Amino acid sequence: MRAGTRIRPARPEEAKRLSDLAFRSKAHWGYDEGFMAKCRDPLKVSPENIAEGRVFVLEDGGRIRGFYELTGEGSRKELSFLFVEPDDIGKGYGKALWLHAVRTAKVRGADRILIHSDPHAEPFYRAMGARRVGEVPSTAIPGRMLPLMQFDLRRP
């Protein structure tokens, strides 16, 4: 990461700001308005999850550029969200957030991370070392299936 870039725990009062960031980032892929309207609620970040230490933000130059949410108990964690501001996609922020999430999951006792990936994000997760292990139904769009990715934390 560049000097001036840091990853820190999110604050509960940032929930709406992070939810809006997730919405903008999802819209980057060219989804139509009807589709995006159905995604609004599933993309909401809860202040409760933030307060429980599950959400981390990446700041650069004093601005939030992206965030992730890591949920789950025991050995299996789920990367619930990983979003970067649309203008910042391709600048390495996603990779920095991913590497932080991997370290956090290991510290919290996980042996794997599951990701319900947007189809457009699947190549990113593959590049990070995750593999597709199946499909899961979308929580926003009935009948739509999403790639289920897994990253094994036990690998050398």
Tokens of 72: 């789950």
- How many Cα neighbours within 13 Å face the side chain of 121? 24
Quick one: pLDDT at residue 156? 59
Measured torsion, CA atoms of residues 18, 20, 21, 26, in degrees rounded to the nearest 10: 130
pLDDT digits (tens, 9 = 90+) for 53-108: 999 999 999 999 999 999 998 899 999 999 999 999 999 999 999 999 999 999 99
3-state SS string for 101-144: HHHHHHHCCCCEEEEECCHHHHHHHHHCCCEEEEEEECCCCCCC
Collapse the DSSP code of 95 into the 3-class scheme (helix H, G, I; strand E, B; otherwise coil) and give the result.
helix
Structural domains in the chain, sorted by start:
5-110 (3.40.630.30)
User: Distance between CA 50 and CA 56 in Å, rounded?
Assistant: 8
